[in-house]
Amino acid sequence: MTNPRLSALSAGNFEPVILITGASQGIGAAIAQVFAAELPGARLALVARNEQNLRATARECLKLGAEVELFPCDVTKEKAVAAMARAVGKHFGPVDVLINNAGAFTMAPFAKTSAAAFDDMIATNLRSAFLVTQAFLPAMTKRKRGDVFFMSSIAGLGAYPQAAAYCAAKFGVTGLAKVLRAETKDAGVRVCCVHPGATWSPSWSKSGVKPQRIMPAEDIARAILDVYRLSRRTVVEEIVLRPQLGDL
């Protein structure tokens, strides 16, 4: 029996399924809106814990012409991720582009970082990416096609004081992406690790930092879209994006 999605791909009218975690605000919401605006026929699976904010993202994407479905989920929980993956598969079928964007950031000196706070940073930033990727990777390798993006940080490349837990988590994301790239490069799956510097999100609104010192989330989203649009013969393994005026 002919696979209709493979036939569509051969005909040049492929309509990819794009799953974005942490899609309720910030970079995740910007990624959803950029893909909706610039990738005709995009089908978006939006994932986050905050369903109310997720609906706001969905409304904007629907206005831009995308097909959108919400999958509220705590991506740090193994059973919740498994249930979400089943729901996505039932609604959309296989995922073509997985963007592991879910994450959080808190600051504290190493000596004052509690075990609970450390575990929370690891779960939100690293464990989530591991669980979600495990859920969707098998279908990609089976079809020998797929794209996986990991949202690391410049804190996943170099140490920052007052951010032991966050740096540890993001260094872990960077390592996870490198391992997956090594394991899947012959399976038709492209893996890209994204390392943004300071990027605008609601968490910066009360920081006192001038917006001119912070990158717009839309720029990160456009970089990801540009990487995805490259020929299947090319993979961008890492992207580093920093504010033009330098790190904060």
As annotated, the active-site residues are 166
DSSP state of 154: G
**What is d(CA 150, CA 194) in angstroms, rounded to the nearest whole number?**
6
**What is d(CA 106, CA 87) in angstroms, rounded to the nearest whole number?**
32
Residue 82: exposed, middle, or buried by beta-carbon count in 10 A (0-12, 13-18, 19+)?
middle
**What is d(CA 95, CA 133) in angstroms, rounded to the nearest whole number?**
11
How far apart are the two ends of the chain, measured CA to CA in Å?
A: 56
Is-contact 136 85, C-beta < 8 A? Answer: yes
Q: What is the DSSP string of 156-169?
A: GTS--TTBHHHHHH
* CA 26 vs CA 30, 172, 216, 219, 225: distances in Å: 6, 22, 9, 11, 16
3-state secondary structure 17-82: EEEEECCCCHHHHHHHHHHHHHCCCCEEEEEECCHHHHHHHHHHHHHCCCEEEEEECCCCCHHHHH
